[in-house]
Amino acid sequence: QKEVEQNSGPLSVPEGAIASLNCTYSDRVSQSFFWYRQYSGKSPELIMSIYSNGDKEDGRFTAQLNKASQYVSLLIRDSQPSDSATYLCAVNIYGGSQGNLIFGKGTKLSVKP
């Protein structure tokens, strides 16, 4: 069974702090990794994708990938109350063109003013 694991949280950080969200995956052949943000009662929204080992930065968000450790993380700098949401890690387990994703259960982030 191919799996994506995340801590469910809730993760609580004060406004302005760095929030660190972690994800591990079971399938070594995975090539594509994604972070989705989901506000309560809303649909998921893609915020970061990463394909190569190392860091990828986009504004206040940094995704980190370590394929040897089968680990992907998301850092949110200068956290804002508007960042409070559930963050879903997703992995393209099967590779190929179908783009089928396996999702983790999500980590609920709460940013306190």
Partner 1 sequence: NAGVTQTPKFRILKIGQSMTLQCTQDMNHNYMYWYRQDPGMGLKLIYYSVGAGITDKGEVPNGYNVSRSTTEDFPLRLELAAPSQTSVYFCASRPDRNTDTQYFGPGTRLTVL
- Examine residue 8 and tell whether it contacts partner 1 (CB under 8 A): yes
CB of 112 to partner 1, least distance (A): 22
For residues 109 and 83, what is the distance between their CA atoms, to the nearest angstrom? 8
CB of 108 to partner 1, least distance (A): 9
> Helix %, strand %, coil % for the chain, to 5?
5, 50, 45
Q: Using alpha carbons only, what angle is made at residue 67 by residues 104 and 110, rounded to the nearest 5 degrees? A: 40
CB of 111 to partner 1, least distance (A): 20
Residue appearing with tokens 């890690």: 89
Span interacting with partner 1, options 53-61, 65-73, 76-84, 91-99, rule CB under 8 A: 91-99
Q: How many Å separate Cα 53 from the centre of its chain?
A: 15
Number of residues that bind partner 1 (CB under 8 A): 23
For residues 54 and 9, what is the distance between their CA atoms, to the nearest angstrom? 25
- Encoding tokens for residue 49? 């994708």
Q: Which residues, 35 to 64, sit near partner 1 by CB under 8 A?
A: 42-46, 49
Choice from 83, 104, 109, 111 touching partner 1 (CB under 8 A): 104
- Binding residues (CB under 8 A) for partner 1: these are 4, 8, 32, 34, 42-46, 49, 88, 90, 92, 97-106
